[in-house]
A and B are shown apart, each in its own frame.
Chain A
Amino acid sequence: MTALAALLILTWLYPLALAVAYMVRPRTSPWLVASAAGPALVAALATPKGTALELPWVLLGARYGMDEVAQTFLFFTALLWLLAALFGVGYLAKDNKRWRYSIYFLLAMTGNLGLIVAQDMGSFYTWYALMSFASYGLVVHNGDEEARTAARVYIILVMIGEVLLFAGLAMLFIASNSLALDPAADPLAAALIFASFGVKAGVVLLHVWLPLAHPAAPIPASAVLSGAMIKAGVLGWLRFLNPVGALGEWGGFLIGVGLVTAFYGALIGVTQRNAKTVLAYSSISQIGLITVACGAWLLTGRTDQAALTAVLLYVMHHGLAKGALFLGVGFAGVNRAAVAALLLPALALAGFPLTSGAVAKAALKAATATLPDGWPALLNGLLPLAAVGTTLLMARFLWLMATTAPQAKRPPKVMWGAWLALLVGVASVLFVWPSAGSAVRDAFKPDSLWVATWPVLVGALAAAVAPWVARSIPWSPLPAGDALVLYAAAAVRLSQALRVAQNSIEGSERRLVAAFSMWRRQVAAADLAASWELRLRSNWLLVGGALLGLTLALLWMVGAAIG
């Protein structure tokens, strides 16, 4: 028991220790990075649910534990980090900033793994912050104009998210007077928490950092950013929003936001010209579907396990598939077979039969079937359309990959190994995962096979005519980050106004001090007594009035003291 509990600690302690080792000794073997997520992976498989450990001295009393949510998240997150690290050993072999990259990579990993096993607000918030801030180093890594802009936008959104989360958690703490992971009952706290994690997850209007940051980072970092780290936002919802009870009606809101996000991501994404940007928009679109699942979870709540299962299966499916797609970008223009192999995760994302996506979709369908009112009918109509959108996005991505100019570089074997291992994971994990059993059976039913197939066919057809449509109507692609343009304009206005206000305040204070020292010099220059007399005489009304006032005030005070 204690050994297993210690494993929970090693989950974050081991990568943290490695990060420190790299800081102190730059020449530490780069291969060690690939082992960093090992303890977490073992913990996900070996630690039984209900294992818990208290560290009462740490922060405001820390608690770590394993539950069903943590197990699923920890497994796919650790697997993805491990393979991305392995991929990175090869990908960054000739990068002269590899040392720096390794440190930020390990710190971000520490945060991401730590927040999954954290069972109190303080620890969760700490690891969440570490992950968010350390990822800055990954986004800015390339150091070119694109990376710097992306990193700047990223860190601003991180700060906004942090601040919203702080407010939300403080409200939870005051409401429950404990640091336990108690879900919010207060609508304002829930709104703050939804928005703060929405920034991380990439919900529409809060997503603007994502299409810039994910493509800017080196490929293995993009894979974990898009595959693992944005899921921390979903985990935050699961931990801090309240299924059933006071927040029931929020479920409908989440479903609505999720649907908008799903279609918005697809629409903007198909116009993009960079393969990684297309993938980033696809992540936004998929997060929309996961948000729908979260909404269903809020609506059905604790009475129904199906919705939670759908969320968990969906994040796992998307994490692995999106990781595989991003790592695949490393082989663009190198190997035709590699591009062909990308069909597997691409079809999975679109939910094609026999893929992990079909399983996740079946789970989502089971979860939405029991929803009240007209939700099932609405979702049955719209979700296949989202799959059409995903198919278009994937077609766009594969097209961009296939038309990449041939390159002479030969990727090291370790990159191939990591990527193929991840593809195997995409093909297998969801079919053997214990809680996926009924979803797998649903996915193989004949009618669901057809439901899963036709959107992909329609999408493929649409993709085939897309070039012709694109030529015949005038259009120009939106810049990555779309709505960001509006935010930036508003921010510039605000900072200009602030600067004007500040200059005027500072100016008047400086004038005041200058006037004072001028006066002081004049006093020193003139005969002091004469000057004072002159001044008193010329301002007799003011001086006399002030003295009179002071005397009266003192008299009154004495009077008040006696009386």
Chain B
Amino acid sequence: MMGWESSLPLLLFLSSFAPGLVIFFLEEEAHTTRTVLNLFGALLKLALLAIMVPGLLEGRVYETRLPLLPEIDLVLRADSLSVLFIVLSASLWLVTTIYAIGYLEYSPNRSRFFGFFSLCVSSTMGIALAGNPLTFLIFYEMLTICTYPLVVHRGTPQAMHGGRVYLAYTLSGGVVLLIGVIGLHVLAGPVEFVDGGALDAVGARSPEALRWLFPFFMVGFGVKAALVPLHGWLPRAMVAPAPVSALLHAVAVVKAGAFGIVRVVYDLYGVNLAHELGLIDPLLIAAAITIIVGSLFALNQDDLKKRLAYSTVSQVSYIILGAATFGLFGAIGGLLHLVHQGVMKITLFFCAGNFAETLGIHKVSEMDGVGRRMPLTMAAFTVAALGMIGVPPTAGFISKWFLGAGSLQAENGWALGVLLTSSLLNAAYFLPILYRGWFKPQQGAWPEEHLYGRMETHWMLLFPPAITGAFVLLLGVLANMPFGLLRWVEFLILLEYRL
């Protein structure tokens, strides 16, 4: 391999890390420089990906390896699973950056915000690229730290409280994960993530120890993935500004937890070994409980963002349910949902932010008639909400289809029942919002209205949900496209199942 190619993963990390560091030292008023830096980083990242993807399709592996501890290197490696996550986060980061500029560019402490915003994405890159458990852990903790200032950005007592709860939950989770990583090192020595699993030999030697270690990983990641009952931080963290919530729920924190679980099941233990050891069935049950409980909690929330937060609790566990379902269809469904949930949820949060910024609407009960005032935003919201329910032809339908078929394939018919109950509950808390928005007449004046000329809101707030909303449809309607996401995920799952 040529030398410059081995630096590509590192560059991928640095493309947001370096701008982030520079942004900290910018004047508050340096709008242009900050915007240029932000967008430059986001676009550079996509350009780097464009270089790497053809190589990956040819079977090349891009790897940066730096010495860290005796025996253990800091490994950044782009394999097919990490690229899936990187493509998702890099693209959504670009739209979220645009959105955040529109949302926050005229409020205080912008340099602090955008600096940590970039670091947050850098840590996500690190998590995606991490080639061994220790590297993963380092970036996982970095993500926890970088996100805190974003959650408490507003500085209100409520925000500070949300931030404290967030830290208490995630740092505790980190400690549990640390125990898992150390335990694994003691047990197996230096291990790296490998397609199909890296612990076959250890599994043959000491299966009991591996069984005991598994819950440490699951709890460690389960906190961020908001597995019930470790989900308490998520609804409180929704006090963060909308772009942060969007990133938190779709790409960064929650997704990092889910991605960690997928990594451990597929590339550390290997799904075949995890299945043999009987580890994935308890995980499946945890995911099923989370799916139902999250949806139940969402039912009675009047605060729009809180309702969306509980919906995230439920939806992220679709990914885990897929990873814990033994069989190709379920696995495909889980990984598809990793991407689909991100695109759908980010759309919903963008829209919630638009309602708040433009009309001062924070509650579901204030949304009467909003479809007439902000038709494009409401349309994007509608598409994404229907996607969450799993209505065809949205992206959500495609992943639900594979998850449902996978449940039957693995002879877990009850898991299909869980998915469908969740669909009914999703309908019960999303459809009333759509009804208010489209069919109810407006009640009195909006709580706090801002006018933006002929557009329904600022264009930088309008384009991001319009684009991601269109993708919710496209990912479903053209699911079977050559070189599409489905093809990529199928290719990946065959690797993981060693078929």
* Chain A positions near chain B (C-beta within 8 angstroms): 56-61, 122, 125-126, 129, 133, 137, 140, 143, 155, 159-160, 162-163, 166-167, 170-171, 173-174, 498-499, 502, 505-506, 509, 512-513, 516-517, 520, 553-554, 557-558, 560-561, 563
**Is A126 touching B393 in the complex (CB atoms < 8 A)?**
yes
Name the residue on A nearest B169 (C-beta).
A513
**Is B392 touching A170 in the complex (CB atoms < 8 A)?**
no
**Is A561 touching B206 in the complex (CB atoms < 8 A)?**
yes
Contacts A58-B477, A59-B393; A166 near B404 (Cβ below 8 A): yes
**Is A560 touching B416 in the complex (CB atoms < 8 A)?**
no
Closest 9 CB pairs of A and B: A126-B392, A560-B209, A561-B187, A170-B404, A163-B420, A174-B408, A159-B427, A57-B481, A126-B393
**Is A60 touching B398 in the complex (CB atoms < 8 A)?**
yes
**Is A498 touching B476 in the complex (CB atoms < 8 A)?**
no
Pick the contact of A167 from B397, B404, B409 — CB < 8 Å?
Answer: B404
Contact with A along B422-443 (1 / 0, CB 8 A): 0110010001000100010000
A126 to B391, CA, bound (A): 8
Contact with A along B218-247 (1 / 0, CB 8 A): 000000000001001000000000000000
Name the residue on A nearest B389 (C-beta).
A159
Q: B479 an interface residue at 8 Å Cβ cutoff? A: yes
Contacts A57-B482, A170-B404; A143 near B439 (Cβ below 8 A): yes
**Is B416 touching A557 in the complex (CB atoms < 8 A)?**
no
Q: B331 an interface residue at 8 Å Cβ cutoff? A: no
Name the residue on B nearest A170 (C-beta).
B404
**Is A502 touching B408 in the complex (CB atoms < 8 A)?**
no
A509 to B310, CA, bound (A): 14
Contacts A57-B481, A557-B212; A498 near B405 (Cβ below 8 A): no
**Is A56 touching B480 in the complex (CB atoms < 8 A)?**
yes
Main secondary structure of the interface of B (DSSP, over half): helix
Name the residue on B nearest A512 (C-beta).
B232
Contacts A58-B478, A60-B480, A61-B480; A155 near B431 (Cβ below 8 A): yes
* B392-414 interface (Cβ within 8 A of A): 392-393, 397-398, 400-401, 404-405, 408-409
Residues of B within 8 A of A126 (CB): 392-393, 397
**Is A561 touching B209 in the complex (CB atoms < 8 A)?**
yes
A159 to B428, CA, bound (A): 9
Least distance between B314 CB and chain A CB atoms (Å): 14
Name the residue on A nearest B379 (C-beta).
A23
Contacts A133-B391, A173-B405; A140 near B439 (Cβ below 8 A): yes
**Is B477 touching A59 in the complex (CB atoms < 8 A)?**
yes
Residues of A within 8 A of B409 (CB): 174
Least distance between B217 CB and chain A CB atoms (Å): 14
Least distance between A129 CB and chain B CB atoms (Å): 5
A162 to B424, CA, bound (A): 9
Least distance between A496 CB and chain B CB atoms (Å): 12
Name the residue on A nearest B293 (C-beta).
A505
Residues of B within 8 A of A557 (CB): 183, 186-187, 209, 212-213
A204 to B408, CA, bound (A): 30
A512 to B169, CA, bound (A): 12
Q: B168 an interface residue at 8 Å Cβ cutoff? A: yes
**Is B297 touching A60 in the complex (CB atoms < 8 A)?**
no
Least distance between A302 CB and chain B CB atoms (Å): 27
Contact with A along B168-211 (1 / 0, CB 8 A): 10000000000000010011100000000000000000101100
Least distance between B399 CB and chain A CB atoms (Å): 12
Least distance between A101 CB and chain B CB atoms (Å): 12
A557 to B216, CA, bound (A): 13
Residues of A within 8 A of B439 (CB): 137, 140, 143
**Is B300 touching A499 in the complex (CB atoms < 8 A)?**
yes
Q: B165 an interface residue at 8 Å Cβ cutoff? A: yes
A375 to B23, CA, bound (A): 83
**Is A558 touching B164 in the complex (CB atoms < 8 A)?**
no
Contacts A133-B391, A159-B424, A561-B186; A59 near B479 (Cβ below 8 A): yes
**Is B408 touching A170 in the complex (CB atoms < 8 A)?**
yes
Pick the contact of A60 from B188, B400, B479 — CB < 8 Å?
Answer: B479
Residues of A within 8 A of B138 (CB): none
Contact sample, A vs B, 10 pairs, CB 8 Å cutoff: A57-B481, A60-B401, A61-B480, A162-B423, A163-B423, A166-B401, A167-B420, A499-B300, A502-B300, A563-B206
Q: B101 an interface residue at 8 Å Cβ cutoff? A: no
Residues of B within 8 A of A561 (CB): 186-188, 206, 209
Residues of A within 8 A of B392 (CB): 59, 122, 125-126, 129
